[in-house]
Amino acid sequence: MKFFNNRFSTNQFTFLIALFYVAIFNIPLFKLVRQGIAQQGDVNYLFVASLPFFLLFSLSIIFSLFSIKWILKPFFMVLTLLSSTLFFAALEYGVVFDYGMIENTLQTNSSEAFTYLNLDSVVAVIVTGLLPALLIYRMNITHKPFFNELLYKLAFILVMALGIGLIGMLYYQHYVTFGRNNDKIKRYIVPIYAVGSLAKYINSNYLQTPLVYKRQGIDAKNISAGTNQKPNLLVLVVGETARSMNYAYYGYHRATNAHTQPFDIIAFQDMVSCGTATAVSLPCMFSSMDRQSYKAREAQAQDTVLDVLSYAGIKVNWLDNDSGCKGVCDRVEYLKVDMSADNPFCDGHYCYDEVLLAELDKHLGLPVSQDSLIVLHIMGSHGPTYYLRYPDAHRTFIPDCQRSDIQNCSDAELINTYDNTILYSDYILAQVIERLKETQHKVDSALLYVSDHGESLGERGLYLHGTPYAFAPKEQISVPLLAWFSADFAADNQLNIDCLTQFATQGGFSHDNLFSSLLGLMNVTTSLYLPALDLFSSCRVDIDKNSLSATN
């Protein structure tokens, strides 16, 4: 091809690659720009026309710093492949790769990652990533002697900087005002924001000196140990990607909670998550820090509520059918479902959540001599392959979306598929409750269910989750919190169920409540316990509300 016979200087290459990134990879950015402009009253169209040039000049300067003879081709080939993935995620799902999303992505297992593969994603990466990378590899790029190359590069940077300066002189106030009113737009600049977030993640997790591990709650004591006729058993089901607006308990028009309806379920209204991705929400909800003060690095270097419960003599088990506990359960008994095992609920890549019921049966069949907490981490409504989360026998709402490129399904099909996952999770909860009722002769049992975060299903052009919290829609942060108590558990632990049912309707709850609520339910005293955050504190009778926080 004649193109490959042409010689390109490093400056020409830099400008061309920057132009490609502006014209292709930043299409999602300009879609948001268009939305922002549409919301303005007066529009200066010359300012609008300057936006792609401003980005082009800026990327040209940044890219010129990496247009060095020995690294130019491998660097931009890798960057283009990465940017192709970022582009597809932003264009099709509205996903932004900030720090939290990068953390979640790097902690995703291979089985989960493969669910995002589909024809659209493969074609997009080939066309916008692989082919351009091969083109870069084949390009004939000439490099001048070192000092000449340096002078030409400095001249190129100066010209680009003059272009930016000229635009700034003419439209500075427009940029300031538009940027202030549309702050989230900067997160869609490919590849700048994602690369910066990746660098921040690497620095925080691999380059900084590890924090000294902090033990906390070692003063914890179980004040109910030996006082009740039977040990307490709490099963905590941690849901995945379940949003509350698709639950009948929260006013949804469909019977997505038909399986648990016969039980006296308490639904805590207006419950919000700590994050919009599992890697953030899961450690945060089990941490003593609230969402505002939560820092992942500090959370990884200190005890969780599971550790505190263990210090109090509570037996803690974590049974996992999802992507792991993200460090939360590192110091308690842990079981990850073997997806490759010969099991009717597994296909070698994933398992239906029913696989956890057999593991729960094993624990319930053991002699119980101490208060216990069993955590079931379910796959729940994990997308985009929602249709793989429930067996055919639970395919209630049809037609459903039997594909992973969910943006190509109709709205009705997508909602049907997602609702099937909610209904199937409800079936799992009902099965757990039935098992707990069968063990009432030997334990006082209770169940809590809470999801880690919600999900977008095409609302406002967004799919999946992971939107930065400051801009996250309610679909991604509104989550269910459900509770069930056996009569003996309520009686022996002084819980007024009528009071609690009424209290749950008040709303205003969040993942911040989980830490103290678990301590309170298990009657654990510690200086870490905060009565104001314990959802059950105000409805406990014949108990000193402050006794649980005594330092002893």
Taking the C-alpha atoms of residue 84 and residue 79, their distance in angstroms, rounded to an integer, is 8
Q: What pTM did the predictor assign?
A: 0.84
Q: Are strands 266-267 and 271-272 parallel, antiparallel or unpaired?
A: unpaired
Cis peptide before 367 (omega within 30 of 0): no
Reduce the DSSP state of residue 315 to 3 states and report it: strand
Pairing status of strand 372-377 against strand 232-239: parallel
Please count the residues of the chain: 552
Within the chain, all domains assigned CATH 3.40.720.10 are found at 221-495
Fold designation for 221-495 = Alkaline Phosphatase, subunit A (3.40.720)
pLDDT single digits (tens) 342-356: 788 998 888 999 999
Reported as a single tens digit per residue, the pLDDT across 92-114 is 888 888 877 888 777 776 666 66
d(CA 243, CA 457): 10
pLDDT digit string, tens, across residues 411-444? 999 999 999 999 999 999 999 999 999 999 999 9
What would the two tokens of residue 443 be? 């334990």
- Count of alpha carbons within 13 angstroms of residue 518, beta-carbon side: 31
Q: What's the whole-number mean pLDDT along residues 17-37?
A: 93
pLDDT reading at 550 higher than 50: no
Query: Is residue 286 within 8 Å of residue 216, measured between CB atoms?
Result: no
Per residue in 225-250, pLDDT (tens digit) is: 777 789 999 999 999 999 999 999 99
Q: Which residues contact 74 (CB under 8 A, 6 or more apart)?
A: none
Higher pLDDT, 456 or 44: 456
DSSP states along 18-86? HHHIIIIITHHHHHHHHHHHHT-SS--HHHHHHHHHHHHHHHHHHHHTT--TTTHHHHHHHHHHHHHHH
Which whole number is the average pLDDT over 18-36? 93
Residue 18 half-sphere exposure toward CB, CA atoms < 13 A: 24
Closest of 199, 281, 324, 319 to residue 476, by C-alpha: 281
| Segment 164-203, tens digit of pLDDT | 999 999 998 888 778 877 878 888 999 998 898 888 888 8
Buried b (16+ CB within 10 A) or exposed e, 412-439: ebbbbbbbbbbbbbbbbbbbbbebbeeb
Both tokens of residue 313? 């003599």
